[in-house]
Every structure is written in C-alpha cells, then in structure tokens.
C-alpha cells in the first residue's frame, strides 16, 4: 500500500531546492524576520499568469524599480504602464494592474487586503492569485491551484478525467494536502516541483520527493497526465498595417480601444483582420506595399499582416491616428505584432 503524500516531504525538498527569484525573500533574510512585500508578491503573481518565470523577471525588475510602492503605481499615467508592459502579452492584465493599484490606494489606504476574500474582490485577481497572495504574503493556509498544481495532483492520484472537467476534483486533492504551517512556502514548493521535476513532458520522476506516494509513477502513466480536451485549430486571418512616417521622422500611431485584442495598447492604424481586409489608409499618401509580411500567432488565430509604408509631408492631416514625434516614440512601447511590422518597415 502506498503511503499518502505529505506536505513536509515537499517542504524539505523546497528548503534544499528553492529557486531564487526577484520577488522571493531568501532564506537568510527570512531568518532575520524579513517578510514578503504584498505589493511585490501581487505584482509577480499577476505577471506570472500564463507567463513563464524567464519572461517575467526583467519586467518585474523594471516595474518595481520605477514604481516601488502600490501608491506610486496608482499615480502612474496609463500610457506609461501600458508601454512598460509592452511585449509581455495579455494586456488586460496591465489595465487591471492599474485599476487594482488605484483601488488599493484609494479604497484601502494603500494597504493590500490580507485575506483571500478581500483580494478576490480586486480587479485582475482571480481564485489563483487571491490564494497565492494570501498564502505567500500573509501566510494564510489557502490552497493555490494553477497549471502546475493540477498536473502534480493528477499524477499523484493517477486522475484520468480530462481538464477542465477534473479541475474541482484536483482542487479538493490540493486542499487536502495544504498544511497549516508555512502554507506560502508550500504553495511555491508545489509550483516549483511542477516547473522543474513534474514537468508536462519527460517528468524527472527519479528526482521527485513525491515519487513513492505517486499513483501515476506506480501505474507508469505520469507522462500522459493530466489529460486535456482537444483544442480547436487556429484559423488564419489577413490584415494590413499602415506605417506612415512624416518627413520630420514622426510616426502615425493609434491608441487601441480598451476592450478586445491588444486593448489599450499603441499600434499602427490598420484594416480589420479577417478573410479579405479592405484597403483603407489612415492618411492620403503614395502607399508602398512591402515585399514581406509580418506573421504572428495570437491565442486563437494566426495573422498574416501586410505592411504598407508612406512618407508624408508636414502639413498633411491624418484621417485616423496621431503623429508621434521621435523622442516620444520607442518601438519597445508596441505590442510584439506591431513591433514586427515596424521592424519590416524601418529599414525599407
């Protein structure tokens, strides 16, 4: 009979193997009584939503250096925050980050709520993030369930019900294991285990602290779990981007509406993205079509973006968008698909 897994085994593993991350308080500082800063934990957790640690690190450093406290962030300009988030993806997170910072600053005197329920009421904080911040920053015994935890639980219990159907069951399994002591470290330990040992493909079961109690290890099914419902294939859409450069070097740009794809971000005026985009330039000019197109894949479709360029005189008024002069424009302020179009146009 297998013995059931224990949180203590995992905590011991974590104490030996915890990865250093900019938002984590190291063991030395922890011994000196340093507690995690809720603002930094919240910031890191929002950035980590559906995003890898490697991608997040530099953004986290930039954000926390530029806006050291939630009150600083609450006072930031929308455009500055969106520009700083450019390239990280899922831009609704940036809009909600600001909304949340302003709610904390204005409605909570600049202090984060210290319970899962309180956190859950804030913009951009869902079940995962609320539990993570409550556990890691406030040491509350909340159960954190992300993709890692789902995978670890599915294997530990050899659960073959596919996701997302299995989610409630996996959540119960995770809750049954959550300890009263060091719940924050435990939450991070399960996620570290999933990220480094209990990986989606080729799990390193030989190194796993939970190998003995693992039902999937015993059954030889670990690499097949968790099962997932098949995904739809992505359609391909076509579009046109118009990159107009004024003779003084200014570029014609447009702020996208808050709702929808790339909401709130700066971008090039363009056509709709669909089967047959209509040629509808944002300013009267001699437009030139570039020989290459920008290709980009979003969550639910592939895009082939035709790029058109034009050089326009100083006195020509745009139909859509605004000219942004050089010192005020950096291509790094653009979402990646727009930067790809710029890279094609800039040396043409």
Contact residues toward DNA (CB under 7 A) are: 19, 21, 44-45, 48-55, 87-92, 96, 123-130, 132, 146-148, 151, 188, 191-192, 194-195, 200-201, 228, 230-231, 233-234, 260-263, 296-300, 335-337
Instruction: Return the number of the residue (90 or 342) whose C-beta is nearest DNA.
Output: 90
For DNA, the closer of residues 89 and 179 by Cβ is 89
Of 3, 9, 45, 181, which is the active-site residue? 45
CB atoms within 10 A of CB 63: 24
> Which residues have a Cβ under 8 Å from the Cβ of 232 and sit 6 or more positions away?
300
CB of 247 to DNA, least distance (A): 29
Closer of 56 and 283 to DNA (Cβ) = 56
| Shortest Å distance, C-beta 334 to DNA | 8
Nearer to DNA, 97 or 285 (CB): 97
Rounded Cα distance between 224 and 22, Å, is 33
Both tokens assigned to 340: 């790809």
Task: Tell me how far CA of residue 212 lies from CA of 4, 150, 172, 215, 299, in angstroms.
Answer: 9, 19, 21, 8, 38
Q: How far is CA 142 from the centre of its chain?
A: 22
Judged by beta carbon, residue 198 or residue 283, the one nearer DNA is 198
Smallest distance from the beta carbon of 259 to DNA, in angstroms? 8
CA proximity to 262, closest of 91, 46, 95: 91
For residue 45, indicate whether it is catalytic. Answer: yes
Shortest CB 313 distance to DNA, Å: 32
CA angle 137, 69, 19 (to 5 degrees): 45
The backbone torsions φ and ψ at residue 151, rounded to the nearest 5 degrees and listed phi first, read: -65, -45
Q: Would you give the DSSP letter of residue 243?
A: E
214 φ, ψ to 5°? -85, 120
Count CB-CB contacts under 10 A for residue 27. Answer: 10
Minimum CB separation of residue 147 from DNA in Å reads: 3
Residue positions annotated with a catalytic role: 45
């Amino acid at each position: 009979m297998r013995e059931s897994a224990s949180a203590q085994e995992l905590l011991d593993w974590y104490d030996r193997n915890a990865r250093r991350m900019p938002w984590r308080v190291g063991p030395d500082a922890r011994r000196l009584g340093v507690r995690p800063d809720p603002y930094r934990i919240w910031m890191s957790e929002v950035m980590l939503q559906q995003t890898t640690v490697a991608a997040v690190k530099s953004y986290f450093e930039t954000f926390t250096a530029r806006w050291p406290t939630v009150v600083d962030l609450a006072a930031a300009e929308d455009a500055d925050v969106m520009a700083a988030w450019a390239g990280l993806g899922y831009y609704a997170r940036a809009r909600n980050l600001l909304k949340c910072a302003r709610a904390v600053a204005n409605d909570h005197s600049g202090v984060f709520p210290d319970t899962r329920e309180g956190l859950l009421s804030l913009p951009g904080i869902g079940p995962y993030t609320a539990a993570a911040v409550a556990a890691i920053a406030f040491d509350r015994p909340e159960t954190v369930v992300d993709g890692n935890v789902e995978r670890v639980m599915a294997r530990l219990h050899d659960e073959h019900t596919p996701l997302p159907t299995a989610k409630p069951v996996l959540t119960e399994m995770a809750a049954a294991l959550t300890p009263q002591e060091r719940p924050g470290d435990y939450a991070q330990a399960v996620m570290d285990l999933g990220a480094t040992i209990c990986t989606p493909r080729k799990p390193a079961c030989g190194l796993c602290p939970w190998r003995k109690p693992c039902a999937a290890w015993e059954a030889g099914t670990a690499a097949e779990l968790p099962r997932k419902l098949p995904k739809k294939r992505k359609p391909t859409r076509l579009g046109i981007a118009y990159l107009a450069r004024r003779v003084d070097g200014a570029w014609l740009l447009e702020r996208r509406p808050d709702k929808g794809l790339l909401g709130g971000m700066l971008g090039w005026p363009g056509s709709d993205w669909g089967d047959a985009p209509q040629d509808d330039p944002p300013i009267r000019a001699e437009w030139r079509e570039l020989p290459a197109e920008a290709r980009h894949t979003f969550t639910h479709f592939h895009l082939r973006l035709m790029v058109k360029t034009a050089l326009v005189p100083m006195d020509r008024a745009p139909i859509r968008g605004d000219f942004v002069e050089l010192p005020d424009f950096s291509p790094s302020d653009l979402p990646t698909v727009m930067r790809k179009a710029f890279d094609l146009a800039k040396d043409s």
